């Protein structure tokens, strides 16, 4: 991948914001969504794992994340019945002193209350410089943003981060969900995670739900919200709006 390709893609607006619904396991209603980028290139769709790592190395991720937040805010502004939207925060941002001001400026520009934006972080950002991560968390919370821990349980996000940083939403990684209906050990672990999350007053979101059995099980153990292909695929934000919020 070359830098010019990414620059072209950004300029030509080939990088698109998709939203994947998040469903309340008890009411089955859509209570939120996660924004995910897709690169629509010559009628093919390039998934984020093929270009996000490159953008993180080169710094283009800052532009991408800013573009996603702008897009999301411009949509939320129009919605009569607003739902919170999660945006993925690259670890690069924690080290950028202007980033939090940028977050604030963007929500103000679109007159969106910060509580509608959930900032998803992974552990890699935090272990690198815990003092800075704590400071970032304190500042975004003071502005009213919600903080979510992404991929919980994968090694990118785990217990040390939970101890250090105040998290509102815990996103349980797909790898735990995958075998949860067969694997006895996996069940014990996921049940313990949900119990702990409740006591720490965090909302739990299970990621990568693909079957009815998984949804059923997660509901019985008290998980709050589910996200996955069983409910809905990520779709372009315009389509999401038409389908779910019209």
Q: What is the binding site for ligand G (CB under 6 A)?
A: 20, 36, 48, 88, 150-151, 207-210, 228-229, 234
Which is it for the CA torsion 55, 209, 69, 12, positive or negative?
positive
Nearer to ligand G, 65 or 151 (CB): 151
Cβ proximity of 212 and 18 under 8 Å: no
Q: Which does 36 bind (CB under 5 to 8 A by kind): Mn ion, ligand G, none?
A: ligand G
Question: 175-208 burial by CB neighbour count: b if 16+ within 10 A, else e?
Answer: ebbbebeeeeebbeebbebbeebeeeebbbbbbb
Q: How far is the CB of 218 from ligand G (least distance, A)?
A: 13
Block residue for tokens 């720490």: 200
Q: How far is the CB of 48 from ligand G (least distance, A)?
A: 6
Cβ proximity of 232 and 18 under 8 Å: no
User: Tokens representing 200?
Assistant: 């720490």
Region binding Mn ion by CB under 5 A among candidate stretches 42-50, 84-92, 195-203, 216-224: 84-92
DSSP state of 215: H
Region binding Mn ion by CB under 5 A among candidate stretches 60-68, 149-157, 172-180, 211-219: 149-157
DSSP state of 244: I
Q: Which does 68 bind (CB under 5 to 8 A by kind): ligand G, Mn ion, none?
A: none
- 117-121 and 146-152: which strand pairing? parallel
Q: How far is the CB of 243 from ligand G (least distance, A)?
A: 17
By CB under 5 A, is residue 118 in contact with Mn ion?
Answer: no
Nearer to ligand G, 159 or 229 (CB): 229
Nearer to ligand G, 104 or 210 (CB): 210
Which of 65, 89, 123, 150 touches Mn ion (CB under 5 A)? Answer: 150
């Amino acid at each position: 991948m070359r830098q010019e390709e990414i620059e072209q893609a950004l300029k030509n607006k080939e990088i698109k914001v998709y939203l994947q619904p998040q469903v309340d396991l008890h009411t089955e209603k859509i209570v939120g969504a996660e924004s995910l980028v897709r690169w629509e290139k010559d009628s093919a769709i390039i998934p984020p794992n093929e270009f996000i790592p490159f953008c993180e190395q080169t710094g283009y991720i800052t532009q991408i994340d800013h573009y996603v937040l702008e897009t999301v805010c411009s949509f939320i502004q129009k919605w009569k019945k607003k739902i919170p939207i999660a945006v993925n925060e690259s670890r690069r941002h924690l080290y950028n002193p202007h980033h939090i001001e940028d977050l604030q400026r963007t929500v103000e520009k679109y007159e969106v209350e910060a509580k509608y934006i959930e900032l998803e972080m992974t552990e890699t950002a935090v272990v690198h410089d815990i003092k800075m991560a704590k400071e970032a968390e304190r500042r975004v919370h003071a502005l009213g943003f919600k903080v979510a821990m992404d991929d919980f349980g994968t090694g990118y996000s785990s217990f040390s981060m939970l101890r250090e940083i105040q998290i509102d939403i815990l996103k349980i990684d797909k790898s735990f969900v995958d075998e949860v209906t067969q694997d006895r050990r996996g069940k014990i672990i996921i049940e313990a995670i949900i119990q702990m999350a409740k006591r720490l007053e965090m909302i739990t979101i299970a990621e990568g739900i693909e079957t009815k059995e998984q949804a059923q099980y997660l509901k019985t153990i008290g998980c709050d919200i589910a996200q996955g292909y069983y409910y809905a695929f990520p779709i372009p934000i315009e389509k999401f709006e038409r389908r779910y919020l019209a």
